[in-house]
Structure 1
Amino acid sequence: MDAFDALAHVVALHPRNGRLDGGRRRGTVSFGQRIAEPGGRHWKEWSVDISEAPFAARDLIRRDEAIDLYFSQNAFHGWRRLAQLSTLGALYQDLDYQRRATHAGKDPRVVAEGALAALDETGIPSPSFVMKTGRGLCLVWLHELLPRNALPRWQAVQKRLADILTPFGSDKAALDAARVFRVSGSLNSRADPLDAEVRMIWCNGSVGEPFRHVFSDLADEVLPHTRTGLLSLSAERARRKAEGMQVGGPARTLTVATWAETMLSDLQRLRTHRYPEGAIHPGERDRWLFCAATAMAWLCPHQVLERELSALAHEAAGWEGKETRGRMSSALARARMAAAGQRLEWDGREVDPRYRMKASTVVEWLEIESGEMREAGLRMLVESDRAREITAERQRDSRRRKGAQDRTALQAARLELGRKARFLQVSKGLTVRELADMLGVSAFQVSKAITEANAKG
Structure 2
Amino acid sequence: MMGAAAAAGATGGAALNVNPIRNPNQANLDFNIPGDHHDLLHHNQVGTVIVWESQAAKAWHKIEPGQAPAETRVFLEGLSGLNDTYFTVNEFKGWHLQRLLKSLRACFVDIDLGRAATRYDLDEAIERLHEKAMPAPNMVVFSGRGLHLYWILKHTPALVLPVWQAVEGALIKALADFHSDSKARDCTRLLRLVGTKNSKTGGGVRGLVLDGQPWNFHQLTDEVLGHRPERPVRQVRSFEAAQVKRGIHPRATNFRRWHLVLSDLHQIGRHHGQIPEGFRNEFLFLGSVALSWFASPESIADEVIDLAKLYCRGLPEAEAEAAASQSIARAKKSIGGEKEMWQGESKDPRYFFKRETLWERLEPLAAPVVRSLRAIIPDGVAAEHKRECDKARWDDENTGKGYRVGNAEKVAQAQSWRADGMTQREIAGNLGVSQRTISTWLGA
> TM-score band (shorter)?
0.5 to 0.7
Name the structure 1 match of 2:151.
Answer: 141
Match of 1:274 in 2: 272
Q: Once the 2 structures are TM-superposed, how far is the Cα of residue 263 of structure 1 from its aligned partner?
A: 0.2
Q: 2:162 aligns with which of 140, 146, 152?
A: 152
Residue of structure 2 aligned with 1:35, choices 55, 66, 78: 55
Q: Does 1:89 align with 2:105?
A: yes
Q: Which residue of 1 aligns with 2:39?
A: 11
> Could you say if the C-alpha distance between residues 169 and 83 of structure 1 is closer, same or farther in structure 2, counting changes exceeding 3 Å?
same
CA contact (8 A) 2:86 2:191 kept: yes
- Distance in structure 1 (CA, Å) of the matches to 2:210 and 2:245: 25
| Aligned 8 A contact 1:149 1:261 in 2 | no
Q: Distance in 2 between matches of 1:362 and 1:71?
A: 36
Q: Which runs of 5+ in 2 are unaligned?
A: 1-28, 232-243, 404-444
Q: RMSD of the TM alignment (CA)?
A: 4.1
Distance 1:202 1:409 in 2: 43
| 1-structure distance, mates of 2:252, 2:196 | 42
Deviation at 1:91, TM superposition (A): 0.5
Query: Given the superposition, is the C-alpha separation of residues 105 and 127 from structure 1 closer, same or farther in structure 2, using an over 3 Å criterion?
Result: closer
Relative to the length of structure 1, the TM-score reads 0.65
Cα contact 2:182–2:335 (8 A) shared by 1:
no
Q: Are 2:217 and 1:215 aligned? A: yes
Aligned to 1:170: 180
CA contact (8 A) 2:301 2:321 kept: yes
1:202 paired residue number: 209
Q: Find the aligned partners of 1:64 and 1:173 in 2 and give their Cα distance.
A: 27
Residues 333 and 168 of structure 1: is their aligned pair in 2 closer, same or farther, counting only changes over 3 Å? Answer: closer
- Tell me how far 1:126 sits from its aligned partner: 1.5
| Residues 29-85 of structure 1 deviation map (CA, whole Å, 9 limit, x = unaligned) | 222111317xxxxx4334443343966652323435752321111123332123433
1:49-448 → structure 2 map (5 Å cutoff): 49-52=64-67, 57-64=72-79, 67=82, 68-97=84-113, 99=114, 104=115, 108-192=118-202, 195-196=203-204, 198-204=205-211, 210-223=212-225, 233=227, 250-251=248-249, 255-275=253-273, 280=275, 282-302=277-297, 304-313=299-308, 316-317=311-312, 319=315, 322-339=318-335, 341-346=338-343, 351-364=347-360, 365=362, 367-368=364-365, 372-374=369-371, 377-382=372-377, 405-406=398-399
TM-score by length of structure 2 reads 0.66
**2: CA distance between counterparts of 1:399 and 1:143?**
35
- Please give the alpha-carbon distance, in whole angstroms, between the structure 2 residues aligned to 1:159 and 1:247: 23
SS of 2:55's equivalent in the other structure is strand
Residue 94 of structure 2 aligns with an amino acid whose one-letter code is G
Letter matched to residue 14 of structure 1: H
8 Å contact from structure 2 (residues 31, 207) kept in 1: no
1:316-338 Cα offsets, whole Å, 9 max, x none, are 43555543343333433444454
**Structure with larger Rg:** 1
Measured against aligned partners, the alpha-carbon deviations of 1:154-200 in whole angstroms (never above 9, x if no partner) come to 223223322332454322221221110122333333333xx41x332
Secondary structure, aligned partner of 2:86: strand
Alignment deviations for residues 347-375 of structure 1 (CA, whole Å, 9 cap, x no partner): x656544333344544452524665345x
Q: Secondary structure at the match of 1:35?
A: coil
Give the residue type in structure 2 aligned to 1:29. Answer: V
User: Secondary structure at 2:220's aligned position in 1?
Assistant: helix
- Name the count of aligned residue pairs: 360
Distance 1:150 1:33, change over 3 A: same
In 2, Cα distance between the equivalents of 1:268 and 1:405?
Answer: 32
Per-residue deviation, residues 372-416 of structure 1 (Å, max 9, x unmatched): 345xx432234566556656776898899x9x7437999xxxxxx
How much identity, in percent, do the aligned residues show? 28
Contact 1:160 1:222 in 2 (8 A): yes
SS of alignment partner, residue 163 of structure 2: helix
